[in-house]
Amino acid sequence: MFSKACEYGIRAVLFITVHSLQNKRTRLKEIAKEIEAPEAFMAKVLQKLVKHNILLSSTGPKGGFYIEPEKIKSTKLIQIVRAIDGDKIFVGCALGLPKCDENHPCPVHDNFKEIRDSLTEMLSTMDVGEMATNVDKEIAFLKY
């Protein structure tokens, strides 16, 4: 469903958000360890999230990654997915047809539209703040 980069990215953002809620920055090393992702690969993913203005970063001692407080509630899962995987899961035909729409549908068009719509709806609704809070309360988890 999501690429590995995206899986890492979502988990990382949530981990960082938990710390940002306490005004703390999170260093790459911590993140990679928690997420169990290769450090250098995690770094690339985080860079992409910074470029897309989902995260902020600062170098030097006391540096690290963080998210602006006012973005914690407004950042939706779909933004993270778009930043890393693009919109390939949101657009395009399930069977790979170059042209597939209402008027010229592939054999699974309607059925998939329904599923994709509910996926999009879901990702557009879920915000980083609520999810991170669940992680903080140990209602949900970021590692096994």
Partner DNA sequence: TTTGATTCCGATAAATTTGTCCTTAATTTG
Partner DNA sequence: CAAATTAAGGACAAATTTATCGGAATCAAA
* Shortest reach from residue 25's CB to a second copy, in Å: 21
For position 98 contacting DNA by CB under 7 A, the verdict is no
CA distance 108 to 129: 36
- Per CB under 8 A, which region of 2-10, 24-32, 49-57, 62-70 contacts a second copy? 2-10
Q: Pick out residues in 1-60 that bind DNA (CB under 7 A).
A: 3-5, 8, 26-29, 37-41, 43-44, 46-47, 50-51, 57-60
Beta carbon nearer to a second copy, 53 or 118: 118
* Shortest reach from residue 26's CB to a second copy, in Å: 17
For position 72 contacting a second copy by CB under 8 A, the verdict is no
CA distance 107 to 55: 41
Q: From start to end of the chain, where are the E strands?
A: 56-58, 64-66
CA distance 16 to 107: 43
Q: Which two tokens stand for residue 98?
A: 């170059």
Beta carbon nearer to a second copy, 63 or 87: 87
CA distance 96 to 13: 31
